[in-house]
Amino acid sequence: MTDHVTRAFLADESLHGVMERLDLPPALAAVYGHRLVPRPFFLDRATADSVASDVRAFYDLLTSLPDRLFGGSLARFGDALGVPPEQLALMSAQPPSFHGRADIYRVGDEFRLLEFNSGSQLGNRDFGDISRAIHEAPEFQGFVREHDLSYVHPVQELLRVIGSGTIAFLEAGGALRKYAKGFASLKESCARFGVDVLLGELENVTERNGHLYLDGTRLDVVVRFFSPRQAVGKADAFLRATKTEVCTPLENYLYGNKSTLALLSGHRDRFAEDELALVDRLLPWTRAVGDVPPDHLREHRETLILKAADEFAGTGVHAGWLHDDAGWRALLDDARGKPYVVQERVRPTLDTVPHDERPWLTTWGWFVTGEGFAGLSIRSMPHESGAVVSYGGNPDTRVSGLLLHGDDSGPPAS
């Protein structure tokens, strides 16, 4: 950990205004500039790499589930996850390439995984520009040198993975317009690294001779942001294309479904001792709602959180300790028979923010690719504001940058 760097920052009041004076890119500032945590966060590079390595190995366990539990049957695996057949028909049984973000709580010197988002449709990569702006802030230069601080930019790591050529980020169903500010920030961040990406939607893509075309422009690489749910009835051209590289295929969604965590947590007899040690190190107890006796769920309300298996951004998440018995019972009754999981409550180490007596609750978003650690996103809010640290779902959520200590490779080129 890098607690000594955090303590040094908190002790130096001359640094406490750095977040108010950051030179943020215009599109990023339009989205996040008014909702910054009034402090940066710090982590040693060895820990960043170690957790990323654990997440990578954890993903290998997730992708082994079809073979271990379902005889290699994609249909049986999808049925266990509650994935509708029309969505499953868009996917293959081939284990997809590794690319994801693990949302994690810090508990002392340990890190506990709340969920794993598998695929290229990940938000918060542009937070790397917050880290860059902190690292380059004039009043912060002495602190950067004293503590040997650097950063890893998730956008640069994404571009490293997908290579060169004509690149398009594809959404579907009007989502590009809905999330226009976020995509503008992401496009702006790519441009800083010399890559001009196209933005489009699945409905506007055609296929010719194995290549995808967006509004007449042939694409070398597609970064997929749409989900299987969005793609039903619209993906024929996308699936026919064999010469346009796709980052990442639709089957990645299977391994970001929270029901995979329940399967992994609930079938301990199928894993070796070292594999169980990894699961126990990262994953809180997690089960499908239908696999737990109702009396147990009701009696342990204070220590359980209920989560919709295939939602994101905090949708469908209910913390038992924030409900009374009657409200919790109603939530459990409604979830019964639906793709919901229950997870053991994690009590994270809370953070200190300058000039605020309230403790803050922070979610660390670990980006990891097949090449390893690919940066971090930080979302934080006052602990009293609830149990879900979601920028889109909780107006009290703020964002910040993450600087690394002990990495002598220096910051990314910008």
Q: How far is CA 97 from CA 275, 320, 368, in A?
A: 20, 35, 12
Instruction: Yes or no: say if 351 and 362 are a contact pair by the CB < 8 Å rule.
Output: yes
Write down the pLDDT at residue 7: 96
Average pLDDT over the chain reads 94
Write down the pLDDT at residue 413: 58
Which domains, from first to last, does the chain contain? 3-257+349-405 (no CATH), 285-345 (3.30.1490.20)
Q: Which regions of the chain are under pLDDT 70?
A: 1-2, 313, 407-414
Write down the pLDDT at residue 333: 94
Q: Which residues contact 255 (CB under 8 A, 6 or more apart)?
A: 59, 62, 63, 96, 100, 116, 118
Query: Comparing C-alpha atoms, which of 205, 148, 135 is closest to residue 173?
Result: 205
Element (H, E) at 287: strand 286-288
CA–CA separation, 188 and 174 (whole Å):
20
Q: What is the pLDDT of residues 62-81, one digit of tens each?
A: 999 999 999 999 999 999 99
Write down the pLDDT at residue 2: 59
Write down the pLDDT at residue 93: 84
CA–CA separation, 106 and 363 (whole Å):
8
Give the type of residue at 13.
E
Q: How far is CA 400 from CA 203, 306, 357, 381, in A?
A: 35, 27, 19, 11
Say what the pTM is.
0.94
Write down the pLDDT at residue 185: 97
Give the type of residue at 365.
G
